[in-house]
Amino acid sequence: QHIACIFDLDGVLVDTAVYHYQAWKQLANSLGFDFAHAQNEQLKGISRMHSLDKILKWGGVEKSEAEKEALATLKNSWYVAMISKMTEAEVLPGSLKLLQDLKDQGIKIALGSASKNSGLILERTNLAHFFDAIVDGNTVSASKPDPEVFVKAAELLGALNKDCVVFEDAQAGVQAAIAAGMAIVGIGNAENLQGAQLVINDLSEITIAEISALKK
């Protein structure tokens, strides 16, 4: 049986979700409002512009397209300043071992992320060499929950959708993987990952045998 693994980046392999949250919060505060940590769940997995649209709505603020471009650029400049200082220490527990085990067993590995900053993050955390294919915010046109990112990743790996297992920390990502007909391992709180076959706290809690068993 030929399984292939597709990993989301932010919140699955690396601890960047907290930086996205800090930068968006700073932007909202600069516009005179705030949003709750619980609302941040809704920003996970979706593109920069979709995140901004949601946040402006929460604040009851309307902006022109040009102003939105400028705000998204500002948020990203703060975010990039944070991730530029990342180190290997910010790779989440279990990520390195699982990626290495998969590689040792010849199982193909792809990245399926909405981020346009994935290159910088993979470089800073020294993870880039694990990937046989990288699909991110620079290569997809439709944002999760659209399945495009995972379908493209499977294509690049030469794998059938049904043979792929997706690792996701966002509800939008779980929906995208369901739409692609793939198996899903959720990372985090089951409440926010409805439809995942299995939910774990981090990648240290799963083995290749358990991943393969999901495909029956």
The yes-or-no answer on residue 101 being catalytic is no
d(C-alpha 180, C-alpha 151), whole Å: 6
- Region of 36 on the Ramachandran plot (φ > 0 left; ψ -120 to 50 alpha; else beta): beta
Stretch that binds ligand G6P, among 44-52, 85-93, 183-191, 203-211 (CB under 6 A): 44-52
Residue nearest Mg ion, CB atom distance: 11
- Could you give the C-alpha distances from 199 to 15, 39, 192, 207, in angstroms and in order? 18, 21, 10, 13
CA 123 to chain CA centroid, nearest Å:
16
- Supply the minimum distance, in Å, between the C-beta of residue 82 and ligand G6P: 11
Looking at beta carbons only, is 11 or 186 nearer to Mg ion?
Answer: 11
The yes-or-no answer on residue 163 being catalytic is no
Residue 47: which of ligand G6P, Mg ion, none does it interact with, CB under 5 to 8 A by kind?
ligand G6P
Contact status: 148 vs Mg ion (CB under 5 A): no
- Supply the minimum distance, in Å, between the C-beta of residue 57 and ligand G6P: 15
Pick from 143, 180, 139, 144: which is nearest to 159 by CA?
A: 180
Contact status: 115 vs ligand G6P (CB under 6 A): yes
Token digits for 18?
């907290």
Give the one residue of 3, 4, 7, 10 binding ligand G6P; rule: CB under 6 A.
Answer: 10
192 contacts 36 by C-beta, under 8 angstroms? no
Contact status: 125 vs ligand G6P (CB under 6 A): no
134 contacts 111 by C-beta, under 8 angstroms? yes
Contact status: 186 vs Mg ion (CB under 5 A): no
Contact footprint for Mg ion (CB under 5 A) = 8, 10-11, 169-170
Contact footprint for ligand G6P (CB under 6 A) = 10, 20, 43-48, 51, 76, 113-117, 137, 170
